[in-house]
């Protein structure tokens, strides 16, 4: 357990994502709050590694660099829009976060309770 020091409650003017940015598609967005995270071009390089998908404050809040804590709202990594949460029933219930804007087909399918296509299981993270 790490002691979290530096709990200054500074009121930051939060940059609310408005559609006025040039080339919004050139960015990826924080999964936790939807603010622009970094330029997508960096990630398209052959050896680019995505080791975080959230901004610093969200990483601190959720205690994880990639996904917000279960139950927390998530935002689309690709467009920054809020994602819908679906719970798939079954032997091993799964939770999906779907961006209606980026995945309209899957969104529609999940809305009808159709979770047939098995999701690709992400390989376990390798800790070095
Ligand atoms: Zn964030
Ligand atoms: Zn999206």
What is the 73 CA–ligand 1 centroid distance (Å)? 11
Mean of all residue pLDDT scores within the chain: 82
Q: Is the pLDDT of residue 6 over 90?
A: no
Output 104 or 42, whichever has higher pLDDT: 104
Q: Which ligand is nearest to the CA of 80?
A: 2
pLDDT digits (tens, 9 = 90+) for 69-103: 988 999 999 999 999 999 988 888 888 999 999 99
pTM comes to 0.68
Nearest Cα to Cα of residue 96 among 12, 109, 127, 38? 109
Which residue, among 24, 71, 75, 77, has the nearest Cα to 53 in the 3D structure?
A: 77
Q: Place 117 in a pLDDT band, splitting at 50, 70 and 90.
A: low
Q: Which of 9-13, 43-47, 105-109, 122-126 has the lowest mean pLDDT?
A: 9-13
Return the domain boundaries, the chain. 24-111
The shares of helix, strand and coil residues in the chain, as percent rounded to the nearest 5, are 15, 15, 70
Q: How large is the C-alpha radius of gyration of the chain?
A: 16
pLDDT confidence of residue 16: 53
First to last CA, the chain: 19
Q: How far is the CA of 107 from the centre of ligand 1 (A)?
A: 23
Residue 103 Cα, ligand 2 centroid: separation in angstroms? 7
Ligand nearest the Cα of residue 29 is 1
Q: Among residues 96, 61, 100, which one has the least CA distance to residue 81?
A: 100
Which helix (H) or strand (E) covers residue 17, if one does? none
Considering every ligand atom shown, identify the ligand nearest to the alpha carbon of residue 101 and give its number.
Answer: 2
């Amino acid at each position: 357990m790490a002691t979290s020091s530096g709990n200054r409650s500074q009121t930051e003017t939060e940059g609310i994502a408005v559609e006025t940015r040039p080339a919004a598609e050139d960015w990826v967005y924080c999964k936790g709050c939807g603010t622009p995270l970094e330029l997508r071009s960096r990630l398209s390089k052959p050896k680019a590694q995505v080791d975080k998908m959230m901004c610093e404050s969200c990483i601190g809040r959720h205690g994880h660099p990639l996904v917000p804590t279960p139950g927390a709202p998530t935002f689309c990594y690709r467009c920054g829009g809020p994602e819908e949460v679906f719970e798939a029933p079954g032997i091993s219930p799964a939770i999906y976060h779907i961006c209606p804007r980026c995945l309209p087909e899957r969104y529609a399918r999940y809305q009808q309770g159709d979770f047939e296509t098995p999701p690709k299981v992400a390989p376990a993270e390798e800790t070095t």
